[in-house]
Chain A
């Protein structure tokens, strides 16, 4: 009987899961990171975004199909030692990783490989930020102080409490959990380049970056989004953290 259950759950894990992607129209968007370092809006081409972050169950199915991404086989250059370390085993979730929780402790390389397996890619920062501006009724709720308070509230949640399951309230486009659940990788996390210190821009370190120097931040009252930028720009591609997961995007 338990054998049957094991076989059945194995089947469930390996069954192809077709993830939902919601379309987002092209648009001009005022990012916290203006492309020109001042205030120019960013043009975003139409794309589709995964409606939910990738779950432990989905990532397990991926690992079973692509064993090179098992935590006991992944090359060190693609993931640090924390990679999937909350799973009970290399191919077993266990109590600390529920199937419907978002997968975390994944490196950028692992997230990229997963998205590729879904014929998708990681969203760019601009795409993620553009999508995340929405709430249940508006595509851009960022000027609403209530939206700001709500998105900010999550950041005070202690990181040692278990992650909730996916399936938060969906926004106006049917996308869930952009806020209030996890941090998410973006494709160009290593393009955000916010200096740790404003002196980076014209002080002793001016040669650190070729070009116009580190970007300046806009919308300084949008703390929740700025914290995301600060966190992402501090990461290396092999890093994994307890709250860092991802979702995928597709170009239209």
Chain B
């Protein structure tokens, strides 16, 4: 009985410290919950263990956002097969009011952004602001409902450290691709 209790305590403390064992310079220190296009909710830190190519967007965006997705695809395609298998693509919406799970799923289908390589996710408005601040992205909602936002691709290493970024959109940025190749190189 006592043993069960100790086990329980251990379990509880393990849950309470989840995420805090990340490096101090890891973006996974931020405790935010994301909900993906399949409706699953998980903490940002659960992305650890694999390289992530990240950007923020919103699905009703008709101007630069489609090009952000294109550029993520171009960057991914610049890798060899083993490297591609080591990287995930993560797109987080800063428009939680309109980007429901359904909207994300439909967008993923329309753009052929297939799981598990691609994750489209939504967060609360407050968490979107925090995540953007952490990633160094700017966005601002306009009166019509559209957003002004910075268009950048961000590379996180397997422990969530921000190791490269590019604001070159519409074509591959050779320096950024080199950083992605290095991060996804085999052991």
Identity of the chain A residue whose Cβ is nearest the Cβ of B24 in the assembled complex: A75
Docked-complex contact B151 and A208, CB < 8 angstroms:
yes
Contact flag A75-B29 (CB < 8 Å), given A36-B143, A207-B169, A211-B63? yes
Name the distance in Å between B13's Cβ and chain A's nearest Cβ. 16
- Complex A-B: 9 CB contacts under 8 Å: A75-B29, A76-B25, A77-B25, A109-B133, A193-B148, A208-B150, A209-B138, A211-B61, A212-B142
Interface residues of B in 47-88 (CB under 8 A from A): 61, 63-65, 67-68
Docked-complex contact A209 and B24, CB < 8 angstroms:
no
Interface size on B, residues (CB 8 A): 35
Docked-complex contact A236 and B136, CB < 8 angstroms:
yes
Name the distance in Å between B91's Cβ and chain A's nearest Cβ. 13
Chain B residue contacts of A212, Cβ below 8 A? 142, 146, 148
Name the distance in Å between A117's Cβ and chain B's nearest Cβ. 15
Contact flag A211-B24 (CB < 8 Å), given A75-B29, A191-B139, A236-B136? no
Docked-complex contact B148 and A211, CB < 8 angstroms:
yes
Name the distance in Å between A244's Cβ and chain B's nearest Cβ. 15
Chain A residue contacts of B147, Cβ below 8 A? 210-211
Total A-B Cβ pairs within 8 A? 90
Docked-complex contact B65 and A210, CB < 8 angstroms:
yes
Query: A210 touches which one: B24, B25, B27, B61 (CB < 8 A)?
Result: B61
Docked-complex contact A213 and B148, CB < 8 angstroms:
yes
Name the distance in Å between A21's Cβ and chain B's nearest Cβ. 19
